[in-house]
Amino acid sequence: MRDFIPTPILKNTDKCTPETKVIAISGKKVLVTQQNGRITLPRLSDMPAGSIDTASGLAIGKLRDEECAGFIFTGKEDERLFLLEMRSAFTMIPPGSCYALCRAKSLLEWKKRRNFCGACGAALVPSENDIAMKCPVCKEPFYPQLAPAVIVAITKDDKILLAHNFRFQERVHSLIAGFVEAGESIEQAVAREIYEETHLNVCDLRYVSSQSWPFPNSLMLGFTAKYHSGTLELDGTELECADWYTPDNLPQLPEKGSIARMIIDDFCSEKRFFD
C-alpha cells in the first residue's frame, strides 16, 4: 500500500475527525510535534482552539490510511507544537509525509490566490470533479500551476561544478538550476541555463530524478551532464562565484533532503548516476 494517496477532488475539511492528521503551514514552515523522539505531524485533537484557519482548510488525502488535511496556521507555538522549516522537515519525516506536506503547501498557496475568474471576474467555486476552481458564470476552469525547473550536476573528469547564487544562504554552493521557459523542451532549458550562467557547453545529458519543491510551486527535474567546451565565465546576475571541486575538497553544501544535495552526495560516493 502506498504511504500517501492524494484526494482526487478539491474538498473542504468539514468531515475531519479529531484523529485527522494536520499539516499546518506558516510561510515556509510546518507545525510538528515529537513522539518517542520522532518528529511527526499532529492530529486535529492536538490543535489549540483558533490556531488554524478552518475556512481555508483542504482535505489532502490519506496518509498511511489516515485522513490528512491542510490548514494555514494562525496560532502560536507551545511546548508540544512547534514550527519547523519545511526544508529541514524533509529530512526528518517519512517519504509519504513529505508527499502530503508538499501537496498541502502547494494547494493552500494556490487556493489562497485563486479567488476570481481571470476571464470574467466572477468569484470562483471549487470544482466537483477534480482539483480545480471553476467559474460559475463562464465555466472556465483554473487548475494548480506547476513551474518546472531543471537542476544539473556538471562534471569534468573527477570534479563537479558548484556555484554560489546571490539568493542562497551565505557560502552555500549548489548545482546550476533554472526554470523552463515558454516553448522550450527540458533539454533546451538545460543547455540555455548552463550557457547563460556559466558560458559552458555540456554533453551526455542524463535524467536522474525529480522532486516537488513547493516554494511555492516548483517541480525540480534533476540531471547530470559532462563538460564539453567553453571557459567558465559567470553571468554576474545570478551567480556570485563558481568553481570545480573534487569530493575531498567541497564548499558548504545545501541541507540534506533536497534533490541538489542528493545528486552531489551521489557524485561524492561515485554511486548510480555517475558510473
Domains located in the chain, CATH noted: 4-113 (3.90.79), 114-144 (no CATH), 147-274 (3.90.79.10)
Res 108 pLDDT > 60: yes
Helices (H), 47-174: 86-89, 95-113
Where residue 46 falls among pLDDT bands split at 50, 70, 90? Answer: very high
Q: What is the reported pLDDT for 67?
A: 96
Where residue 4 falls among pLDDT bands split at 50, 70, 90? Answer: very high
Q: What is the reported pLDDT for 36?
A: 87
Q: What is the reported pLDDT for 56?
A: 86
Q: What is the reported pLDDT for 275?
A: 57
The model's pTM: 0.90
| Residue-wise pLDDT tens digits, 226-269 | 999 999 999 888 999 999 999 999 999 998 999 999 999 999 98
pLDDT, mean of residues 83-101: 94
pLDDT, mean of residues 154-163: 95
Q: What is the reported pLDDT for 2?
A: 82
Res 274 pLDDT > 70: no
Find, among 229, 193, 186, the residue nearest to 208 by Cα: 186
Q: What is the reported pLDDT for 273?
A: 55
Q: What is the reported pLDDT for 160?
A: 97
Q: What is the reported pLDDT for 165?
A: 94
Res 192 pLDDT > 80: yes
Res 169 pLDDT > 90: no
Strands 21-26 and 66-72 come out as: parallel
pLDDT, mean of residues 120-129: 95
Find, among 82, 98, 99, the residue nearest to 90 by Cα: 98
Query: Long-range contacts: 108-116, Cβ < 8 Å, 24+?
Result: 108/25, 108/56, 108/58, 108/70, 108/71, 108/72, 109/214, 109/216, 109/217, 110/144, 110/145, 110/216, 110/217, 111/10, 111/56, 111/58, 112/56, 112/72, 114/142
Q: What is the reported pLDDT for 216?
A: 87
